[in-house]
């Protein structure tokens, strides 16, 4: 199937209805734009039960929270370091 749409001045494009229905795209869904040798590829972003974290499925909720908190702290520290360098 091939469809065309126009890009608005804000850089927005409408996904044709037939494709939204075929791929179950709903308002708020996230899509990924990939630059390939053949051109642009758009894919629906899917998440696993790990809420996007690469951790084993058998971790308890408490352990998942510990991992998430530790990662958040590392991101916060890295961000703070980057702000100090500016």
Tell me, what CATH number does 6's domain have? 2.10.260.10
63 and 41 both lie in a single domain: no
Answer yes or no: are the C-beta atoms of 34 and 40 closer than 8 Å: yes
Confidence bin at 15 (pLDDT 50/70/90): very high
83 and 56 both lie in a single domain: yes
Q: How far apart are CA 20 and CA 33, in angstroms?
A: 16
Higher pLDDT, 81 or 49: 81
pLDDT at residue number 55? 64
42 and 17 both lie in a single domain: yes
Q: What element of type H or E holds 43?
A: strand 39-44
Domain that holds residue 39: 1-46
40 and 56 both lie in a single domain: no
Q: How far apart are CA 79 and CA 86, in angstroms?
A: 11
State how many domains the chain has: 2
């Amino acid at each position: 199937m091939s469809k065309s749409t126009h890009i608005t001045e804000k850089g927005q494009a409408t996904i044709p209805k037939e494709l939204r229905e075929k791929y179950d795209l709903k308002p708020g869904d996230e899509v990924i734009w990939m630059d390939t040798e053949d051109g642009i590829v758009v894919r629906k972003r899917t998440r696993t039960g790990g809420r996007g974290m690469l951790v084993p499925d058998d971790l308890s909720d408490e352990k998942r929270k510990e991992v998430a908190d530790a990662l958040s702290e590392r991101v916060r520290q890295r961000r703070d370091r980057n702000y100090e360098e500016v």
